[in-house]
Chain A
């Protein structure tokens, strides 16, 4: 194609500015939506995984069989099981392993009462598995029994401050036990389900529930070590221990399993739908533009311009529209993803749902390069769809008929 054809196509586009801008916007928005959809979707899964592993659950956990169905302290690992499991996992490469004792409960302050999960931790070992100690934004980390760490949001709701006394009530064995605790510090909850977790010494929860042992052993891994492979290795190492099971990330987060399973395949219908919408939007406008210029095309062929060249002209116009739309929409979308990958996107509007499924408070978008490929597919599809039929019509034009009909 020569330069004249490019210039003609470019000039033709801007003969009807509004129409051309509309077509560019259609392709641009399609590209932008696909990029953002993929980036946020992958970002949500990635942020959720990192948040849960680094700040809450550890890479995987060891629990008693049946605990998942009925998470009560009565179904905790016995002290013997805890000791045996820690011994069995000694050969496993890990950053740390820590016992936890969890039970449902309530917190009372002078200004209110709320339901909480009491998580009894070993403060020293916990910091080897999760980064809880680095989440402290006021006060200090646990250093003795009788202290509690609360999330900053819960402290705000109940109007309680560091150094003040709260009453925690633990449910266990069909009864309850209340005890006073001093707020040692406040932590920034990385995920929504951490907002209502009161962290206390494991000894306190054991005393309140009257149950020793641990409801779970949380295992943390060094950077770069695969959590799924380590969990599989742990299963082999614990194979001869009765009633002890390994709960991997998906066992601990069933919602994540639903989200990740076939996520790429699930996206295809969305991509196709957006492509179709953009494609037919452009095709419709391009076709109308060709119809409008039938007489003009008839004259051009009558004075010697080949129909093949005219078809190329129409094809080039659609391609230009698609390319500009892709660059603008894709560029804007990718910039948005880069921004969200650094600044994050708050999920506080999904607070109630998120608390139940372990969503992070903030998700960081993924900006993987292959999203460009997905967005580019919209452009290719759009350009081909938009160009094919109008170009075919131009290719079949009879000059005399076209001049008469136009």
Chain B
């Protein structure tokens, strides 16, 4: 659960970023420019959303609901709403620091590797995406398709990436449709399919994501109550925020 929630945090920020990119003019078919647009998506905006997760592990489904806030590249906060037993626990990311908070045990600092571990295990990490270093570690090749672009990212031999390659299916308006991670033997490790794209505040935003790994385990994610460009205070991204929720209830 912990790892998947962190993953959701990362994915949400990616989605926010991607939707922002979609608003700009389409550049020529330069794979690095396309990728830079994806990376540039991370810059700036604040975000709020309520995310429902259905996690299917070994044939059993567990549901969770979390509320997410992000501000810029460095700050993110996740509050668990459901299940009831975990209510008001959550995660706080501030730069390279990551904490888990539980009302019962308080705050626990997690190794910063968890941030790097967030997106699809050991793929491009939150850091890679947020700081635009993705294109630095990969050779990028792009093909134009009928509906958009098909990008293949092959990691440099010395890049700290454990995948053999990544494939991205991006629509012509730069909304990511599919992300596929391959191992170094050419086998698919994990896929993420994005759907239910909505227009919100001039952005095109995928509200549903289905992530499936090679073992058949799936995470189905739906985002509701989406808000962009909120007036969030940096002070909100603090462990005290968790405690104040506990006092309110």
Contacts and interface: CB of A to CB of B under 8 A. Distances in A.
Contacts of A169: 113, 116
A178 to B, nearest CB: 4
Chain A residues touching B, range: 20 to 34
A248 to B, nearest CB: 33
Nearest to A146: B158
A167 B122 contact: yes
Contacts of A110: 121-122, 162-164, 181, 183-184, 189
A178 B160 contact: yes
Contacts of B185: 161, 164
B122 A109 contact: yes
B72 interface: no
Given A108-B162, A110-B163, A178-B160, A165 B117 contact: no
A62 B116 CA distance: 36
Contacts of B172: none
Most buried by B among A161, A165, A169, A176: A165
Nearest to A178: B160
Nearest to B137: A180
A106 B113 contact: yes
Contact of B160 (A109, A112, A161, A180): A180
A166 interface: yes
A110 B158 CA distance: 16
Q: How would you classify the secondary structure of chain B's contact residues: helix, strand, loop or mixed?
A: loop
A131 interface: no
A158 B90 CA distance: 28
Nearest to B182: A110
A111 interface: yes
Interface string B94-126: 000000000000000001110011000110000
Interface string B35-77: 0000000000000000000000000000000000000000000
B224 to A, nearest CB: 31
B11 interface: no
Contacts of A166: 162
A113 interface: yes
Interface of A: 106, 108-113, 146, 159, 161, 164-167, 169, 171, 175-176, 178-180
20 contacts: A108-B121, A109-B122, A109-B162, A110-B122, A110-B163, A110-B183, A110-B184, A111-B183, A111-B189, A159-B183, A161-B185, A164-B184, A165-B157, A165-B161, A166-B162, A169-B113, A175-B112, A178-B160, A180-B157, A180-B159
Interface of B: 111-113, 116-117, 121-122, 155, 157-164, 181, 183-185, 189
Given A111-B189, A180-B157, 19 more contacts: A108-B122, A108-B162, A109-B162, A110-B184, A111-B121, A113-B121, A113-B122, A146-B158, A161-B185, A164-B185, A167-B122, A167-B160, A167-B161, A169-B113, A169-B116, A176-B112, A176-B113, A178-B116, A178-B160
